[in-house]
Amino acid sequence: MHIDNFANGDSLLHRLDPRIKTIVAVLFSVVVALADRYSCLAVAVGVSLALILVARLSLKQVLLRLLAVNTFILFLWLFLPFTYGGEELFSVGPLHATREGVIYALLITVKSNAIVLALLALLATTPIITLGHAMSHLYVPNKLIHLFFFTIRYLQALHLEYDRLRDAMKIRAFRPRSNIHTYRSLAYLIGMLLIRSFDRADRIRKAMVCRGFHGKFYLLSHFELHRNDVVALVCMMAIISSLAALQWLILK
């Protein structure tokens, strides 16, 4: 499993201070999520694409990730146009699609893609561990960061456990089919995985208690701001402010 395979590159964005990247990513996402003017969103998409280019990510990989996101959005397109009230645009049998519904679905599509692209360029270029440390330095609640770290640490262990169980089923000639036996066996697999994760969580807690854990974590890494980081922060803040201005200040 390579959950952080974008983080291995080398570019201006890879070298940027992770705290700056986190702040910029959050502000950018908030502004884009709230915006509904075309001018603002068009610029936002442009900014996201520019960031992807600066980050020098593999375009093929980026497209694959976008595909995953847009699969979800596809479902919105199946439902939103037909369930949103407003002026009728076209109809399929008894279903009537509205202009407002289509516009709404379109807005969501554009926004999600812009945000995902920006997150890929800013956050995916940071090793996950570093990202956790950056969040901690930005005063994100400790509990959230612990959950984040534990998820990363044990995703791998649980995935291996899943693989082992899967293999154990395979070597006894299990082949998934569309029948009760298959569903029951897969349910056993999931149940077993849950129980094992629970047991593991308990053992980890015990191991932590043995080493004197009392609810507090200490971080070792520290970051240092460089001139580039400050310049990047100022530039990105200017861009985000302009987006906000396009949306809320400049009259139509």
Partner 1 sequence: MVDPEVIIRLAGVTFNYPGNQAKRLILDDLDLQISRGERVGLIGDNGSGKTTLFHLIMGLQRPTQGEIVVFGQKRQEERDFREVRAKIGLLFQDSDDQLFCPTVAEDVAFGPLNLGKSQEEAAEITQEVLTRLGLDGFEERLTYKLSGGEKRLISLATVLAMKPEMLILDEPSTGLDEETVNRLINILRDSDFTYLIASHNSEFLSETTDTVYRLERGKITPPAP
Based on CB atoms, which residue is closest to partner 1, 100 or 161? 161
Q: Choose among 124, 128, 108: nearest CA to 61.
A: 124
In angstroms, the CA 4 to CA 24 distance is 20
Nearest-approach distance from CB 167 to partner 1, in angstroms? 18
Q: Which of residues 20-59 bind partner 1 (CB under 8 A)?
A: none
Looking only at residues 116 through 175 of this chain, which bind partner 1 when binding is defined by CB under 8 A?
A: 129, 132, 149-150, 152-154, 156-157
Positions 207 through 236 that interact with partner 1 (CB under 8 A): 207-214, 216, 218-220
140, containing H or E segment: none
Give the rounded distance of the alpha carbon of 241 from its chain centre.
23
Using CB under 8 A as the binding criterion, the count of chain residues that bind partner 1 stands at 25
CB of residue 139 to partner 1, shortest distance in Å:
18
- How far apart (Å, rounded) are the C-alpha atoms in residues 195 and 89? 52
Shortest approach of partner 1 to residue 121 CB, angstroms? Answer: 23
**Given the complex with partner 1, which of 70 and 130 has the nearer CB atom?**
130
Closest CA to 119 of 34, 128, 229: 128
Classify 222 as helix, strand or coil: coil
Q: Cα(205)–Cα(225) distance, rounded to whole angstroms? A: 36
What residue spans of the chain are helical by DSSP H?
Answer: 12-15, 18-34, 38-55, 59-83, 99-122, 128-137, 142-170, 180-210, 227-248
- CA distances in angstroms from 203 to 3, 65, 118, 206, 232, listed in the order given: 25, 35, 39, 5, 44
Q: Which token pair is 43?
A: 């610029």
Which of residues 208 and 231 has its CB atom nearest to partner 1 in the complex?
A: 208
Residue 227 Cβ vs partner 1, minimum distance, rounded to whole Å: 26
Please say which residue, 93 or 215, places its beta carbon nearer to partner 1: 215
Instruction: Output the smallest distance, CB 91 to partner 1, in A.
Output: 54
Nearer to partner 1, 47 or 131 (CB): 131
Indicate the residue among 95 and 160 with the shorter CB distance to partner 1: 160
The least CB distance from residue 156 to partner 1, in Å, is: 5
18 binds partner 1 (CB under 8 A): no
Q: At CA 167, angle to CA 164 and CA 169, rounded to 5? A: 115
170 or 203: CB nearest partner 1: 203
As measured in angstroms, the least distance from the Cβ of 245 to partner 1 is 40
Question: Which residues are near partner 1 by CB under 8 A?
Answer: 129, 132, 149-150, 152-154, 156-157, 200, 203-204, 206-214, 216, 218-220
